[in-house]
Amino acid sequence: MGAMSTLPTTPDRNLALELVRATEAAAIRATPYIGRGDKNGADGAAVDAMREFLGTVAFAGVVVIGEGEKDEAPMLFNGEEVGTGNGPACDIAVDPIDGTSLTALGRRNAISMIAAADRGAMLDAHAVFYMEKIVTGPEGVGVVDLRQPIGENVRALARAKGKDVSEISVGVLDRPRHEQLIADIRAAGAGTRLLLDGDVAGGIDAASYEGRLDMCVGVGGSPEGVATACAIKALGGLIQARLAPKTDDEKQHGLDAGLKFDHVYTADELVKGDNTFFVATGVTDGNLVAGVRRLGPVIRTESIALRARSGTIRHVRADHLAEKWL
């Protein structure tokens, strides 16, 4: 019997903290670009750093959702194998910077993130770039449904949370495509929080018991939806998604890849099982985590690590010697 037979075949509890090292590296390398107006430079630096550190992690990872075709990335592309190859076999979804525009403009809520699950667990939705999503905390389970009008969902969630509708706060990406959605939310009596970018952080905020949002809705990236599902499973919240192709050709690519349209994907369809991990490090300050800070001889990072199987949420603050990074 070969040596490989003794290795674990699924992600274990130590993997999240190993992956944090990669998101920390990506966040630190992106910081010189904060507020400099160069989102491609920031993304390139973060990709290089994340790829370098993932290569040291003891696992056999396959990038199911990466920089991909949308970003024409030479590294961390869909299908790339990462890690040492000696360890658990995993699907991973990566976004070295979720919020490149936020980083370039020096705005809040940019993060570096990685999600991981058992091999074959993640929905490979890279053929369709966007999906319509709705995310809430545990109170929304069995109450909120993407197929319902948004006003009905807002009122149902308010009842479930014991709040007045006027107290409900809904996160929506600030995009022209959401003008009617925003109007409908406000007509229902709820307030909107318009997100400039970064709907992963927005979804986690909506699902967290200490978050500032009650719900996060709208059309955003398919990769972000699958990654968010890994986090929502740890938080016990609700996520539903429906693919939103922009062209007939894109829809055909999705059909050829076995994706379903006019279908509402649940958390278990986006990511199978409960052995999921989600880690994120702040690039700029945000509601989820603080951004990278230079404190004299050290660079401080703040990260979050979530594991669905144990329902564990860990906050990780680390100080790194600046001389090692500059």
Is 272 in a helix, a strand, or coil? Answer: coil
Task: Determine the distance from the C-alpha atom of residue 304 to the mean position of all C-alpha atoms in its chain, rounded to a whole number.
Answer: 12
Tell me what pLDDT residue 70 has. 46
Tell me what pLDDT residue 6 has. 41
Q: Which residues contact 308 (CB under 8 A, 6 or more apart)?
A: 230, 233, 234, 274, 275, 276, 277
Q: State the Cα–Cα distance between residues 214 and 173, nearest whole angstrom.
A: 15
Tell me what pLDDT residue 3 has. 38
Tell me what pLDDT residue 68 has. 56
pTM of the model: 0.90
What separation, in Å, do the N-terminal and C-terminal C-alpha atoms of the chain show? Answer: 47
- Identity of the amino acid at 184: D
Q: State the Cα–Cα distance between residues 34 and 62, nearest whole angstrom.
A: 30
Is 121 in a helix, a strand, or coil? Answer: coil
Tell me what pLDDT residue 11 has. 58
Q: State the Cα–Cα distance between residues 304 and 115, nearest whole angstrom.
A: 12
Q: State the Cα–Cα distance between residues 171 and 195, nearest whole angstrom.
A: 7
Is 228 in a helix, a strand, or coil? Answer: helix
Return per-residue pLDDT of the chain as tens, 326 residues: 333 334 445 555 578 889 999 999 999 999 999 999 999 999 999 999 999 999 999 999 999 988 754 445 568 888 899 999 988 999 999 999 999 999 999 999 999 999 999 999 999 888 899 999 999 999 999 999 999 999 999 999 999 999 999 999 999 999 999 999 999 999 999 999 999 888 899 999 999 988 899 999 999 998 889 999 999 999 999 999 999 999 999 999 999 999 999 999 999 999 999 999 999 999 999 989 999 999 999 999 999 999 998 888 999 999 999 988 87
3-class SS string, 153-191: HHHHHHHHHCCCHHHCEEEEECCHHHHHHHHHHHHCCCE
Tell me what pLDDT residue 73 has. 53
Q: State the Cα–Cα distance between residues 16 and 225, nearest whole angstrom.
A: 19
Q: State the Cα–Cα distance between residues 240 and 216, nearest whole angstrom.
A: 11
Q: State the Cα–Cα distance between residues 135 and 146, nearest whole angstrom.
A: 9
Tell me what pLDDT residue 126 has. 82
In terms of DSSP bridges, do strands 81-82 and 277-282 run parallel, antiparallel, or are they unpaired? unpaired
Tell me what pLDDT residue 16 has. 87
Tell me what pLDDT residue 152 has. 98
Q: Which residues contact 294 (CB under 8 A, 6 or more apart)?
A: 31, 300, 322
DSSP 40-59: HHHHHHHHHHHHHHHTTSSS
Tell me what pLDDT residue 8 has. 47
